Structure 1
Amino acid sequence: MPNILDTTPPVTAGATPLPASVDEMFAPEHITIIEARKGLQFFDWKELVAYRDLFRFLIWRQIKVRYAQSAIGIGWAVIQPLFSMVLFTIIFGRLANIDSDGAPYALFSLAALLPWTYFSNAITDGVSSLVSEANMLRKIYFPRLLLPLSAVVAKLVDFGIAAVMMVLLMSYYQHLPGPEILVTPLLIALMVVTASGISIWLTTLAVQYRDVKHAMTFLVQLGMYASPVVYPTSMIPEQYRLYYALNPMVGVIEGFRSAILGSQPIPWDLLAVGTVSATAVLLTGLVFFRSKEKIFADVA
């Protein structure tokens, strides 16, 4: 005999049982739990791949914002290295008579300004990437590493536009590159790795210490004179050459000059030291970034 106090409806064979409560009725089928990672980690490849569409969107937004409502547009990618080249040619090439390894000083300086302009702009935008997106950091979860990396990758568009100006100047001087030009993709890769590593380090510091952002103008100017932009590495004493190459941009700049001008052999020793240095900066930067990632939303 059924219990008259039991209000549970009978379950027919083969039927789906009804939920016991409202919470169970609206409970999600899949639950994603986001928690802090433990141990030494550089980055999560699977997570970056999963957010690749967001990465492409961030790159496109960086490019669009730079040229939005701009009268000159992409001309800014040409004006900065062009004006610097003219100024350096007059001051260092004509007045100071700096050695240019036998090449016209205009070509000599522009071959260096091509990677340096990319590098300086990439780290400047990369440093401010987390602070400028503070509202996004507080509202949604996504791999924070995408912000500085998208700033670095987006600047390759400006680099490509400035490279066209380099081709036009080489045509004006009737200078054809040799087979050394095939090394250019390796130089670009090292340039991007260097910019990424330094951007990751500095943007992590900039979240907590806003002095980093204010000091960027000084740091970029100091870095330019610490790199062979206006002078050749032949002016550096031989015993300090490899120590000087610990700055990865030394090998990149001299490599571009050798690949484009062909006046000197490819500096493989400088590139080897610079590659080790750039890789170390990138890996340690990733570890530092991951160790501080959990506090970005709170202090940004």
Structure 2
Amino acid sequence: MVGPAVREVRITPPRGWELLDLAEFWAYRDLFRFLVWRGIKAQYAQSAVGIGWAVIKPLATVATFTLVFGQLAEIDSGGVPYALFSFVAMVPWTYFSGCIRGGTASLVSNANMISKVYFPRLVIPLSQVCVGLVDFAIAFLLMIAALAVSGYAPNVGVLLVPVLVAVMVAAAAGLACWLTALAIQFRDVNHATVFLVQLGMYASPVIYRAELVPEEYRPLYAMNPMVGVIGGFRSAFLGEPTMPWTDIAIGSAVAAGLLLSGMLFFRRREAVFADVA
């Protein structure tokens, strides 16, 4: 009697600079959804305010910025109330900075899981990028309400917002892949990331107008993808003079490069994650 056929599954590390196995990623889509849902719940577990923190944090930050930079430092906001000027910038920046911090620590915080069972490791940092979209959506709706109450209506530039969000997400995902792949082997990357995120806020036009940067340095400045994203948000919702097309184009190219190179580097290092976790 012939016994049942035995199916052999062999798991091998990726060869060369492989970007992403879409079929494998799709096969683990339930794990991806689980990690996203777990991340969302973990943010507000055992919290009295719960999801209200998604409202409190941007409002508290805007209030602080308005007092310090708007009232005391009297930074030029182009005739727009400084509270709205900073709020429109803080919505995308808070998402971006949160994804960098959470994505960098994602592999380290899931070290037990990656050392015991196989799955495409890329689902971990990418799930963190998706978790942040919940807070972003809440803050975005709050921003729209604040603008409506203040009498500001979006212009035709709002049609570009989905592109700006895509650039923001791509840049965050690319940097998260780079940093988390390094952080699992060099744990001091987590500490450096906190400092770099704080520094990055001042290297982005969050508390000031991008027009203050000298024209000869603008192409270099625009290599920060958030320059074009924040400038585009302000143009679409606050009626800034013109949409910063050059900044957006340069930032989009950099974001695409970060995403592609980050995923390639992550996949290249994936074979050693379980050994160093």
- Answer yes or no: is the 8 Å Cα contact 2:104–2:177 preserved in 1: yes
Q: Cα distance, 1:168 vs. partner?
A: 2.2
Secondary structure, aligned partner of 2:8: coil
- Answer yes or no: is the 8 Å Cα contact 2:154–2:239 preserved in 1: yes
* Of 101, 112, 117, the match for 1:140: 117
**Residue identity opposite 2:274 in structure 1:** A
- Cα-Cα RMSD: 1.2
Q: Cα distance, 1:275 vs. partner?
A: 0.8
TM-score w.r.t. length of structure 2: 0.97
Q: Cα distance, 1:108 vs. partner?
A: 0.5
Aligned residue in 1 for 2:39: 62
Q: Cα distance, 1:87 vs. partner?
A: 0.9
Moved more, 194-203 or 175-184: 175-184
Of all paired residues, the percent bearing the same amino acid is 54
* Of 159, 179, 186, the match for 2:163: 186
**Residue identity opposite 2:66 in structure 1:** T
Q: Cα distance, 1:28 vs. partner?
A: 5.3
- Answer yes or no: is the 8 Å Cα contact 1:102–1:263 preserved in 2: no
- Answer yes or no: is the 8 Å Cα contact 1:103–1:263 preserved in 2: no
Q: Cα distance, 1:216 vs. partner?
A: 2.3
**Residue identity opposite 1:233 in structure 2:** A
In structure 2, runs of 5+ residues without a counterpart are none
Is 1:155 paired with 2:141?
no
Q: Cα distance, 1:36 vs. partner?
A: 2.1
- Answer yes or no: is the 8 Å Cα contact 2:62–2:87 preserved in 1: yes
Aligned mates of 2:144, 2:255 — CA distance in 1: 28
**Residue identity opposite 2:202 in structure 1:** Y
Q: Cα distance, 1:257 vs. partner?
A: 0.8
Aligned mates of 2:137, 2:84 — CA distance in 1: 17
In structure 1, runs of 5+ residues without a counterpart are 1-17, 20-24
Between structure 1 and structure 2, the one with the greater Rg is 1
Aligned mates of 2:5, 2:70 — CA distance in 1: 69
Deviation per residue, 1:98-145 (Å, 9 max, x gap): 111221111110000000000111111111110111111011111100
Is 1:224 paired with 2:166?
no
**Residue identity opposite 2:246 in structure 1:** D
Aligned mates of 1:28, 1:235 — CA distance in 2: 71
Q: Cα distance, 1:39 vs. partner?
A: 2.1
Is 1:215 paired with 2:192?
yes
Is 1:32 paired with 2:6?
no
* Of 36, 42, 45, the match for 2:22: 45
The 5 Å alignment of 1:195-210 reads 195-210=172-187
Secondary structure, aligned partner of 2:162: helix
Is 1:293 paired with 2:274?
no
Aligned residue in 1 for 2:63: 86
Q: Cα distance, 1:171 vs. partner?
A: 2.4
Aligned residue in 2 for 1:15: none
**Residue identity opposite 2:227 in structure 1:** V
Aligned residue in 1 for 2:77: 100
**Residue identity opposite 1:185 in structure 2:** P
- Answer yes or no: is the 8 Å Cα contact 1:85–1:113 preserved in 2: yes
- Answer yes or no: is the 8 Å Cα contact 2:16–2:268 preserved in 1: no
Aligned residue in 1 for 2:252: 275
Deviation per residue, 1:163-198 (Å, 9 max, x gap): 122122112211111121111111111100010000
- Answer yes or no: is the 8 Å Cα contact 1:178–1:260 preserved in 2: yes
* Of 106, 115, 126, the match for 2:103: 126
Q: Cα distance, 1:58 vs. partner?
A: 0.8
Secondary structure, aligned partner of 2:184: helix
**Residue identity opposite 1:171 in structure 2:** A
